[in-house]
Structure 1
């Protein structure tokens, strides 16, 4: 029987964000399933929308024996601590080393992990796995669409395969695609030629959405180019908030010949570059966005949904800034709801006060984001929750969520979801679990950039993007870059990056 070691370790790192990812963050998981090890991995990682779950199902269909090591993820934020990285990687490498005879290894990775001691968390992880298994065993990994792919990642893996949707409704599908490619490697016992291209400009995440052009057409063309000669081809628009040399969009192809791989990669790279002008769009200030939403809602029969994009916890924000809440109250919005504000102290105070009580809180604003502060006002506690529920929408895909003690607070005719754990508001259930019916609201403000669209687009009359203070600027040129690849444009048609005279040297891999 074919024996394959599997594992997952996912983190999207915003090096400009205020909070680091500790080991305990991976134990809890945030929007990811809680950390599992050994046989429990195969119990948890099935029938949900994550890469490893898709791979597990496909492996069982193929009759493969799986040797699970560890599976974990944490909400995007600043650097993964050295302690967390080394502890998790040790479990994975030790599990592979102790597995006995293996035929291959599959890993579910993000592709944009930066740690306290490593710029390229996945490149180092793949190098350590390669050292443990030798050069002959196939090593395949699935990646997030926002991966900042590095030459080291490409060098150590036999194939990297990225998601093709944003919102990421195809994470499990990508795991299945990795299984198909691995089956091909095992059957042919041949390696494919690799082509890797890094593109010359950063793409802001708000304009990477695959529901819209130009990205939708790019992925259609990409799928059309796959064939027996080029069995897998990926375009990763990248995560434009990691201050290191290889933060960039990229294309990577695997072909029967080097010419096949090069031709496919060059075609997609040229297509992306031809659309540089199109990776942009309108972004509102908080007040302008709220006022526009209020005007639209006068005739709309569905909610106007606003993305609070700069405090997106899916991009490193702490999900606690108050700019959009202030704008809703200041402009006297009615039938409005905002979620999720991460503030364990306020959630605890609401539980202590009880449903129906009025309580004065300094809500949110604890991240130290310039231009933001706690919002000190009196709120009515409308509903309390223990924070446990299922998120059945297309993004979370039925995942069990644990937001910790939570509350629906009301100020005037504005309701706000307050939680004790943070996760991107990408599912309607993240309102309903505290008693807010999202379809009955005139305005919804979601701390998300794009993932919310998978579940909210069908109920929305209009989608708007607002830029309140937060850790993930909608304009990538606004970030204080110091260590990018010289010459890369820091936004579409923007200025080229030039290293400052005294930038610190790149981190080096250890271990």
Structure 2
């Protein structure tokens, strides 16, 4: 019976974001729940949309003796604090080392973690792991599609296997694929040949959805090429991490890895001109939504993409709210993160009219919306999200409320998590299917649950820290020559 250590530590870092991820954010303050240790990993993560769930299922089917270390995640933000990284990494590695002798290790990582003291969080985790378990124990890692893969990560892991969908609805399948290759390494005693390539341009996350081209076509091509190798991944990268290895990459494993990697990268290069799309200003987006909603039977969904907490924003900007109020447009928006306002409305009670300075606390140039709001619904913020992205995860959003101002309803929360499941509205008494216009603070994950009920989806760029065009960010540390947008100017090494 193979002895396999399993664990996970996930964070997507926007180095331009307004707030950092502390230990408390990983231990329950960000909507993902507390750090899970030991058998708690089995109890809480076996049946949710997470890569570790796929590894657990595959391991049970193969009769592995699995040794769970810990698993945790925090909402994307600015850098992980040194304290959080060192405490969590130390505990993760110590627990894995305590399980030695081991036949293999499976880790559920994101791939785009930057800390206060390290550019390459995952590379350092894997380096420290190797120092403890030695060079021979096979290590398989599941990564997010947005991983900024580094040479250190590639060198220290025997397999890096990434999601193939955005919205990420295949996390379980990814974990299972990685576990399958880990099993092959254990059974054969051999590790696969591997090739790693980095693409020469950045792409905005708003145009990375695998529900639309060019990403849809690229992942179809990946599925074709992958038939000839042990494993193949295309990472579209997270284009808001200011360090040398930010960007897209291809990873291939097996006897024909080099040819497969270059074939996939050729497809990526050919698709470069197509990684662009229509972006609306807040006023123009609301005007177009009203035009479409006049004859629609389903909601028009607007993506408030630059305030996406799934990409490191604070989910508290007011640009889209102001545009809706100026147009007198009916609808709903969520989530609006403002713990202080949530405390005030809970003290006031359901049905009360409360004067608030709502949101607008984190983005330069944005200001709180000062007005009176009606408190329609109060909640403790704990509920399951059954949609395809969260996959049954129990959210812990803290004291929450549905507020009304004019014809606009606002989902107010005390924790940050992007609006990617309709239940996040429903739990506050707002059925999104019945709204004319629905605004989500999300870039693409919302599509899995909202696009099937939408008349149209429009991408809007209200002020926020997750730039819809990465070329507008004040880059300082990228690798010279990397194009800052598709077909755009290369980074010349000088600080912006």
Cα deviation per residue 1:138-180 (whole Å; 9 max; x = unaligned)?
Answer: 0010000000000000000000000000000001110011111
Matched, 1:349 2:344: yes
Deviation, structure 1 residue 39? 1.7
Deviation, structure 1 residue 31? 4.1
Cα deviation per residue 1:215-236 (whole Å; 9 max; x = unaligned)?
Answer: 1111111111123x51100000
1:179-258 correspondence to structure 2 within 5 Å: 179-227=179-227, 229-256=228-255
Preserved contact between residue 385 and residue 406 of structure 1 (Cα < 8 Å): yes
Return the alpha-carbon distance in structure 2 between the equivalents of residues 416 and 499 of structure 1. 43
1:80-479 correspondence to structure 2 within 5 Å: 80-227=80-227, 229-256=228-255, 260-334=256-330, 336-367=331-362, 369-479=363-473
Match of 1:37 in 2: 37
Return the alpha-carbon distance in structure 1 between the equivalents of residues 392 and 70 of structure 2. 21
Return the alpha-carbon distance in structure 2 between the equivalents of residues 498 and 232 of structure 1. 34
Preserved contact between residue 342 and residue 421 of structure 1 (Cα < 8 Å): yes
Match of 1:507 in 2: none
Return the alpha-carbon distance in structure 1 between the equivalents of residues 472 and 82 of structure 2. 28
Match of 1:508 in 2: none
Preserved contact between residue 100 and residue 133 of structure 2 (Cα < 8 Å): no
Aligned to 1:16, the other structure's residue is in SS state: coil
Preserved contact between residue 29 and residue 75 of structure 1 (Cα < 8 Å): no
| TM superposition score normalised by structure 1 | 0.96
Cα deviation per residue 1:471-508 (whole Å; 9 max; x = unaligned)?
Answer: 1010111100000010000000111001127x9xxxxx
Cα deviation per residue 1:34-57 (whole Å; 9 max; x = unaligned)?
Answer: 311112112111111001111111
Match of 1:481 in 2: 475
Match of 1:492 in 2: 486
Preserved contact between residue 406 and residue 419 of structure 1 (Cα < 8 Å): yes
Cα deviation per residue 1:287-321 (whole Å; 9 max; x = unaligned)?
Answer: 00001101100000000000000000000000000
Preserved contact between residue 50 and residue 172 of structure 1 (Cα < 8 Å): yes
Match of 2:9 in 1: 9
Preserved contact between residue 298 and residue 455 of structure 2 (Cα < 8 Å): yes
Aligned to 1:307, the other structure's residue is in SS state: strand
Return the alpha-carbon distance in structure 2 between the equivalents of residues 151 and 61 of structure 1. 33
Cα 1:176–1:31 shift into 2, 3 Å:
farther
Return the alpha-carbon distance in structure 2 between the equivalents of residues 400 and 313 of structure 1. 18
Preserved contact between residue 335 and residue 418 of structure 2 (Cα < 8 Å): yes
Preserved contact between residue 29 and residue 35 of structure 1 (Cα < 8 Å): no
| TM superposition score normalised by structure 2 | 0.99
Give the unaligned 5+ runs of structure 1: 504-511
Deviation, structure 1 residue 370? 2.2
Cα deviation per residue 1:57-81 (whole Å; 9 max; x = unaligned)?
Answer: 1100110011111100000000000
Preserved contact between residue 32 and residue 396 of structure 2 (Cα < 8 Å): no
Number of aligned residues:
496
Return the alpha-carbon distance in structure 2 between the equivalents of residues 93 and 297 of structure 1. 53
Question: CA RMSD, aligned part only?
Answer: 1.0
Return the alpha-carbon distance in structure 2 between the equivalents of residues 176 and 384 of structure 1. 39
Instruction: Report which stretch shifted further, 431-440 or 22-31.
Output: 22-31
Return the alpha-carbon distance in structure 2 between the equivalents of residues 45 and 350 of structure 1. 33
Cα deviation per residue 1:171-191 (whole Å; 9 max; x = unaligned)?
Answer: 111001111111111122111
Deviation, structure 1 residue 339? 0.4
Deviation, structure 1 residue 405? 0.6
Cα deviation per residue 1:426-446 (whole Å; 9 max; x = unaligned)?
Answer: 000010111001000000000
Return the alpha-carbon distance in structure 2 between the equivalents of residues 359 and 490 of structure 1. 45
1:495-510 correspondence to structure 2 within 5 Å: 495-500=489-494
Match of 1:58 in 2: 58
Cα 1:31–1:453 shift into 2, 3 Å:
farther
Return the alpha-carbon distance in structure 1 between the equivalents of residues 211 and 56 of structure 2. 28
Return the alpha-carbon distance in structure 2 between the equivalents of residues 30 and 457 of structure 1. 25
Deviation, structure 1 residue 100? 2.8
Instruction: Report which stretch shifted further, 179-188 or 440-449.
Output: 179-188
Return the alpha-carbon distance in structure 1 between the equivalents of residues 269 and 399 of structure 2. 47
